[in-house]
Amino acid sequence: MKFVDEYRDPVAARRVLATIRELAGTERHYKFMEVCGGHTHTIYRHGIEHVLPQNVELVHGPGCPVCVIPMGRIDDAIAVAETPNVIFTSFGDMMRVPGGNGTLLEAKARGADVRFVYSPLDALKIAVDNPERDVVFFAVGFETTAPSTAVTLLKARDDGVMNFSVFSNHVTIVPPIKAILDSPDLRLDGFLGPGHVSTVVGNHPYRFVTNDYGKPLVTAGFEPLDILQAIAMLLRQIDEGRCEVENQYTRIVRDEGNPRALQYLAEVFELRPHFEWRGLGFIAQSALKLRDDFAPWDAELKFSVPGVRVADPKACQCGEVLKGVIKPWECKVFGTACTPETPIGTCMVSSEGACAAYYNFGRLHREAAVTLGRASIPVTSA
């Protein structure tokens, strides 16, 4: 029982698992997508998929900001980084993502001035400290991180820092969910809604999932018990014939989100007509570009960006992984040619990527699950 005992509240976990078993029954198969990479990580780390009944399946979604950036944008980033006089700043995760021309780390080794930053504000500070250089921030992420970039740009404008610019690759959470719902590849019964993105956007934007597509969605936290509870809430909705947007993560997520953060986003960014997503292709109005007011701080206008579309390596199946069509271990190069040390695809790079999470934790828990499967889980009421 070590497995479930690792949960912070094993008694509660067993109780929720008993509810899940009861609601799921045995007659039909349920397939739920966890949209967020943070959830994927929890699911593998705690072996959740192995304690669920066999007819309750979790598939991964596109909610890993590093994973969804297409190769061409990495090449664009490298082209900007290799422009004379540029200091190119990036979150650590992005440094190891391969584009068609290698990674930012390799560009750094060739002599480009590429620096890790923890925050966009650190990039702005580098610009202030180096007035003779052009400092570019490689902005990635969903609505969780985009408000931070927005605040940084407002500060750059207010302080008149003209040698700072942003290469925006911010994306929005709703369009890829819609793209997946429109895709014929997958039949889903519901969604675990993303946690931290929802602190910004709230729960209202997901109403189309229930209203237009008839699928329940439950916004979930990142603890194993959160995930189990959210699964139970999805099953209960289906059992009772309901289809609603529900919030399991009420201790952080409010239905209206963070209006202040949304206001900053609207002030600085507008939707791009199209943006390419790894695995999902071009999705209309799915990414953020700087508004015209911020043109002086827009790296795409300030520098020559090749903007060439680069196809993923043939062997790489990140696209299918990001759509939940295959599991990480079903990819031909998983764990052989593609490992966290030598990643071919983005899903193996980020700690939020499904492949890296499964590589790091999955096999261990498969063994644990076999042990668990032999033991019957006592239903404890407390």
Partner 1 sequence: MCLGIPGQLVELDADNDQLARVEVAGVRRIINVGLLEDEILEQGDWVLIHVGFAMSKIDEEEAAVALASLKLMGSGLDDELEMLRGTAS
What does the binding site for partner 1 look like in residue numbers (CB under 8 A)? 8, 36-38, 41-42, 45, 63-66, 91-93, 116-122, 140-142, 144-145, 147-148, 151, 196-197, 199-200, 222-223, 251-252, 258-261, 264, 351-352, 360
Q: Is 355 helix (H, G, I), strand (E, B) or coil?
A: helix
Q: Which residue has the tokens 């209202």?
A: 204
Q: Which is nearer to partner 1, 49 or 352 (CB)?
A: 352
Closest distance to partner 1 from the beta carbon of 343 (Å): 15
Pairing of strands 190-193, 281-284: unpaired
Provide, rounded to whole angstroms, the least separation between the CB of residue 286 and partner 1: 17
Question: What CA–CA distances, in Å, run from 89 to 243, 305, 372?
Answer: 44, 16, 46
Dihedral through CA 69, CA 72, CA 76, CA 81, nearest 10? 70
Residue 13 or 64: the one with the smaller Cβ distance to partner 1 is 64
Task: Please report, as a single letter, which amino acid is at residue 121.
Answer: L
Euclidean distance between the first and the last CA atom of the chain, given in angstroms as a whole number: 18
Spatial contact of 283 and 175, defined as CB atoms under 8 Å apart: yes
Min dist CB 97 to partner 1, Å, is: 13
CB of 234 to partner 1, least distance (A): 22
* Residue closer to partner 1, measured from CB, 8 or 28: 8
Pick the closer one to partner 1 by CB: 285 or 360: 360
Give the nearer residue to partner 1 in terms of CB position, either 208 or 222.
222
- Decide if 219 contacts 195 (C-beta within 8 A): yes
Tell me how far, at minimum, the Cβ of 237 lies from partner 1, in Å. 25
DSSP secondary structure, 152-178, as one string = HHHHHHHHT-TTEEEEEEEB-SHHHHH
E strands, 102-157, where?
113-116, 134-141
CB of residue 332 to partner 1, shortest distance in Å: 27
Picking from 54, 53, 45, the residue whose alpha carbon sits closest to that of residue 19 is 53
- How are beta strands 217-219 and 245-247 bridged, if at all? parallel
Tell me the backbone φ, ψ of residue 283, rounded to 5 degrees: -125, 125
Least separation in angstroms between CB 260 and partner 1: 5
Shortest approach of partner 1 to residue 240 CB, angstroms? 29
Residue with tokens 């008839």: 214
Choose between 94 and 209: whose C-beta lies nearer to partner 1: 94
Distance of CA 171 to the CA centre of its chain: 10
- Least separation in angstroms between CB 8 and partner 1: 7
Alpha-carbon distances, residue 374 vs 51, 261, 362, 369, 370 (angstroms): 12, 49, 19, 9, 7
| Closer residue to partner 1 (CB): 145 or 163 | 145
The angle at the Cα of 35, spanning 357 to 369, to the nearest 5 degrees, equals 45
